[in-house]
Amino acid sequence: MNTQFPHDPEPVDDGAPSAGESSPPGAQEPDSAIPPRAPAPASRPASPDVEPDAPQRHATLRDYAESLLVTVILALFGTTFVVQAFKIPSPSMEPTLLVGDHLLVNKFVYGGRGNWYDRILPYRSIGRGDIIVFKFPYDDHIHYVKRVIGVPGDRVKIVDQQLHVNGALVEEPYKVHDEAVYDPFGWNFPPTTRYYPAGNVRPEWRAQVLDFVERGELVVPPNKYFVMGDNRDHSWDSRFWGFVDRENVMGRPLMIYFSVEATSDDYTDRSLKGRAAGFARTMAHLPAQTRWSRMFRTVR
């Protein structure tokens, strides 16, 4: 932004006699005395060491304010439509994602909604095996991260911890099981009768799960997704509370931009005080607890 600065006036000869001069003989004195005009001071050369005058200072502050406003608008646009940061507070996706991993999530990749311009934008469909971040369908709609197991139209079945989709056995190199845990409901899914252990099953899902069961398989309805955690025996997922609605999918994790040694207890207190205390603990032990090898790792 160019700012025009005021310049000192040039000396102007107005014809008045200077101090000490006398009027020539015979000259008529004016009716009233007019004081002589002092000569204008010489213009001072510009110097980089000179403090900027008020107009320049005001312009600079205005430029800073405009730049800050543009930055805030772009940041809001980016976190709303393009990318957003999340952290992992539970072990349900181990070993793929660990407690204390901080993710950048691509919110743009699944943006297509069937419009004509979707074909020219880099959108893609949600596929089996994708890791997604989504809003939990109940309670306060907190964000969950799980792996997509079934897409609309798929027939899902788990027999003795082995996943079958559309009648075929699925190899899952990313999953882990805990031999110390016995979960007959999660290991053999879906139920075929209304008499089954339902300790961790959401009441809403318990009342309707059999409506989606055909010939011993769970059929995923339109615009819904069946998801599970990679840490199968320590994951509360679609087996226990139902499907993920398409509209609740936030995006897909891009990369781990930061990771710190942590436990689920560190993220239990979600109050402002609890978060501040957790942040203080992390900063106090930052170098020692940082998982440097996980930083900038892509998520698959």
- Residue 166 neighbours by CB distance under 10 Å: 13
The first and second tokens of residue 175, run together, are: 């999953």
Q: Which CATH superfamily groups domain 82-298?
A: Umud Fragment, subunit A (2.10.109.10)
Which residue did the predictor score with more confidence, 47 or 159?
159
Whether the pLDDT of residue 119 is over 70: the answer is no
Confidence of residue 121 (pLDDT cuts 50, 70, 90): low
pLDDT band per the 50, 70, 90 thresholds, residue 23? very low
State the pTM of this model: 0.71
Residue 53, token pair as written in the block: 């005058």
Q: How do 217-219 and 297-298 pair as beta strands?
A: unpaired
Q: Is-catalytic flag, 146?
A: yes
Measured between alpha carbons, how far is 224 from 203 in angstroms, rounded to an integer? 19
Q: In whole angstroms, what is the distance from residue 262 CA to residue 252 CA?
A: 23
Mean pLDDT of 31-54: 46
Which percentage of the chain shows pLDDT scores above 90? 51
Q: Please give the backbone phi and psi of residue 155, each rounded to the nearest 5 degrees, phi first.
A: -110, 115
278 pLDDT band, cuts 50/70/90, is confident
Catalytic pick among 146, 157, 175, 224: 146
Query: Looking at residue 22, what is its pLDDT?
Result: 40
Which sequence spans correspond to the domains of the chain?
82-298
Asked whether the CA dihedral 227, 158, 201, 151 is positive or negative, the reply is: positive
- The yes-or-no answer on residue 273 being catalytic is no
Catalytic residue, chosen from 92, 235, 238, 259, is 92
Q: Which residue has the tokens 């989709």?
A: 165
pLDDT at residue 69 greater than cutoff 50:
yes
Question: Does an H or E element contain 205, and which?
Answer: helix 203-208
Rounded to an integer, what distance in angstroms lies between the CA atom of residue 216 and that of residue 225? 18
According to the model, what pLDDT value does residue 15 have? 41
